[in-house]
Amino acid sequence: MRRIAAILLLVIVAVGISRSLVKIPFGAPKKKVATHYINEGVKETGSANIVTSVVVNYRGFDTLGEVTVLFIAAVGLGAVLTRSGGKETRPIEPASLILSTGCKVLFPLILVFGSYIFIHGHLTPGGGFQGGAIIASGFLLIYLGCRAGRISPEASKVAESSGGLVFILIGLLGLLFGGHFLSNFLPKGTVNTLFSAGIIPIIYIAIGFKVGSELAGIIDNLIEES
């Protein structure tokens, strides 16, 4: 009975979605705002990657909210899972030589790749969220493969808080110099060079640190618990 109800519900949802989406033509001509972003975005923000210019510049306040949601999720998980003082009782068997050596070789490469993704967020695809997730997957590799050390929670907290603080400070400086919160008050520079697009790379580096340390902290909490 429950199975039939579930299938019926799924069919209703599928019909509803398809009936509402079928009217929208695929790849329709862009509307006013999208056309403005595509035609003027590079000139207005100095960022070669238009997606980044929308995420960090035009819709920067939304991104601040997104980062806050992630922060609240990480803090909530930490509050639920953190044990009060108990040390890990289960003995951890050491990983084999091949596994631990492979981890140690791969880990710095993953870190460099993640940093590259978020430092070059205004030039190439990617940005703070993607780079942070890649860095967190590097820490996941260390936890699963080497089982040697843990990142210290203090360092993680410092990286996370300074990322958030830099984001908000840049926003407030924009309020001071540019007239509105998160306005791009720094010089735009030449498009397609590393030091261009004003505040965008600074904010994306801050987001990269914040997201990376938050996701690594989530994994740390979960593994410590299990």
Partner 1 sequence: MIFVVSFLVALMLVGAVAASVFKDLISAVIAAALVSLVAAILFYLLAAPDVAMAEASIGAALTAAIFIIAIRRTKRYEE
Residues lying near partner 1 in the complex (CB under 8 A): 49, 51-52, 117, 125-127, 129-130, 133-134, 136-137, 140, 144, 215, 218-219, 222-223, 225-226
CB of 211 to partner 1, least distance (A): 10
Q: Where are the alpha helices (DSSP H) in 146-199?
A: 153-177
Residues 31-40: contacts with CB within 8 Å, 24+ apart?
Answer: none
CB of 175 to partner 1, least distance (A): 28
Instruction: Compare residues 76 and 125 and give the one whose CB is closer to partner 1.
Output: 125
CB of 183 to partner 1, least distance (A): 23
CB of 21 to partner 1, least distance (A): 15
Structure-token pair, residue 150? 């843990």
Q: Contact, 204 vs 118, CB < 8 A? A: yes
Instruction: Count Cβ atoms below 10 Å from residue 206 Cβ, excluding itself.
Output: 24
> How far apart are the C-alpha atoms of 140 and 133, rounded to whole Å?
10
CB of 63 to partner 1, least distance (A): 13
Instruction: Compare residues 15 and 172 and give the one whose CB is closer to partner 1.
Output: 15
Using N-to-C axis directions, what is the helix angle for 200-225 and 60-81, rounded to 10°? 20
Instruction: Compare residues 74 and 183 and give the one whose CB is closer to partner 1.
Output: 74
> How far apart are the C-alpha atoms of 155 and 149, rounded to whole Å?
14
Q: Residue 3 is inside which H or E element, if any?
A: helix 2-21
Structure-token pair, residue 198? 């004003």
Instruction: Compare residues 52 and 196 and give the one whose CB is closer to partner 1.
Output: 52
Structure-token pair, residue 88? 């890990």
Instruction: Compare residues 7 and 15 and give the one whose CB is closer to partner 1.
Output: 7
- Compute CA distances 140 → 79, 110, 112, 148, whole Å: 20, 11, 15, 12
Instruction: Compare residues 64 and 216 and give the one whose CB is closer to partner 1.
Output: 216
